[in-house]
Chain A
Amino acid sequence: MNVAALYESLSALNKADLTLWQNMFLRFYRAWFEADRWKTYFEGLGTTLEVTVLALAFGVVLGVLVAIVRTAHDQQRPGTKNFLLGFVNLICKIYVTIIRGTPMMVQLLIWGFVIFATSRNFTLVGALGLGINSGAYVAEIIRGGLMSLDPGQAEAGRSLGLNYIQTMRFVVIPQAFKAILPSLGNEFIVLLKDTSLISVIAGKEVVYAARAIGARTYDYMFPLIITAIMYLVMVMLFSYLQSILERRLRASDRR
């Protein structure tokens, strides 16, 4: 007997006569199979991934820029003051302070309902808001990674005649990257899950889809459980990929 036929026969029965499992089956069927609703989840999931990738790209570019400015500013020779660098550094500091000091949700509401109140492209506005939020955290992660490295490494590079850029490229950044990879992966996971928040400004991602289906069937349990499982699978998959990368980068730690 196929699933649809089973559903037909069970739904014809009196609800009071159904066992717990039969009842569960009916609810799941309505949340997943009926009216091809499963497609709605995957459409939402597509948007979720799209927003994640856009926000990630935006956040990494912004984070790297801010980290470079702040590190360059902090590493100036004592006594030398570059006015322009100082000014840009101040802006970066204000940016990081505001973003880290206010809730993600409030930021998204401001982007969606105040700054881009007339825009209908909710997905892009959401990606922008998430990217700008993520950039502040990525910047601090990168800055921490660069600062945690033994200054002797850069000194060794410079003492061999490598210039500042070469020293950064061959000595500092590869080691800093390895050091920050766990926190960067963590930030990516947070970002992936935070995309669920863009449903508050009508971004049509997977939570939005689940709530729409719940509203239609008057039953939120399975739509929300399905959504949770989707996030869980994505995060586990990503964690696995990350652990492979980390293991490869650890080659030099062998003793």
Chain B
Amino acid sequence: MIDVKNLTKSFGDHQVLKGIDEHIYPKEKVVVIGPSGGGKSTFLRCLNLLEIPSGGTITFQGVDITDPKSDINLHRQKMGMVFQHFNLFPHMTIMNNLTLAPVQVLKKSRKEAEEKALALLDRVGLADRADSYPAQLSGGQKQRVAIVRALCMEPEVMLFDEPTSALDPEMVGEVLDVMKDLAKEGMTMVVVTHEMGFAREVGDRVLFMAEGKILEEGPPKELFDHPQHPRLQDFLSKVI
């Protein structure tokens, strides 16, 4: 579904990604773990070109999206993104946050977009907050709304950039539950996270990234129970 070949990214002289080769299959749940500054978020942000790769190619559904001639707005519609800091639009009600893109980009009628948004909001238990503003919600609620906002575009793949890192510990669970439900429904997901429990439970495959490279990958059970790479052994000994 997404094919990444020899992806590199530099900020000035600092090379953050040093050649990533990866393939993400339909319906696969890929969890990316690793130390801070290891390039996890940059890798994820390159997938929908929020960061422009310095080299290499990314092919999404058979189209090379790193080609400047390809329509990046079209590809982004099919890739939902959830941010660490939610990035809800604070000047709009929750409902308008959810319907903005479906109405403007997918050219849905307002009524149709609102029905869809309300149905999805109901599933994350926030149907009664449709007319609130983001500032009135808790962190966990904001992140659930952010997930719904991405889902309203009916994406083919969902990218999560540390979705629980900015949350109070007691709100992490409610967001992870929504993500687990999504996984059960068969959504293709790429998740950057520090939640090892989630990686173990939901991930089909776990990638360990450090120093701009994927140092080890495999099914979560294997990777967590029998880490091969010394850097991964070191990392796991510190976080678990």
Contacts and interface: CB of A to CB of B under 8 A. Distances in A.
A175 B87 CA distance: 13
Chain B CB count within 10 A is highest, among A152, A161, A162, for A161
Contacts of B92: 252
B81 A159 contact: yes
Contacts, number: 77
A156 B92 CA distance: 14
A247 interface: no
Interface in B121-139: 133-136
Chain B CB count within 10 A is highest, among A150, A159, A178, A254, for A159
Interface stretch (B97-105, B185-193, B196-204, B231-239): B97-105
B74 interface: yes
Nearest to B54: A79
B100 to A, nearest CB: 6
Interface string A147-179: 000101101111111110010001100110010
Given A160-B76, A162-B73, A170 B87 contact: no
Interface of B: 48, 50, 52, 73-74, 76-77, 79-81, 83, 85, 87-93, 100-101, 104-105, 133-136, 149-150, 153
Chain A CB count within 10 A is highest, among B74, B77, B87, B153, for B87
Contact of B153 (A77, A161, A253): A161
Given A155-B83, A159-B79, A160-B105, 18 more contacts: A155-B87, A156-B87, A156-B88, A158-B73, A158-B76, A159-B81, A160-B76, A160-B81, A160-B149, A161-B105, A162-B73, A170-B100, A175-B89, A251-B133, A252-B90, A252-B134, A253-B135, A254-B135
24 contacts: A152-B83, A153-B87, A156-B89, A157-B89, A158-B73, A160-B76, A160-B100, A160-B101, A160-B105, A161-B74, A161-B77, A162-B100, A162-B101, A162-B104, A163-B73, A166-B104, A166-B105, A174-B91, A178-B91, A252-B91, A252-B134, A252-B135, A253-B133, A253-B135
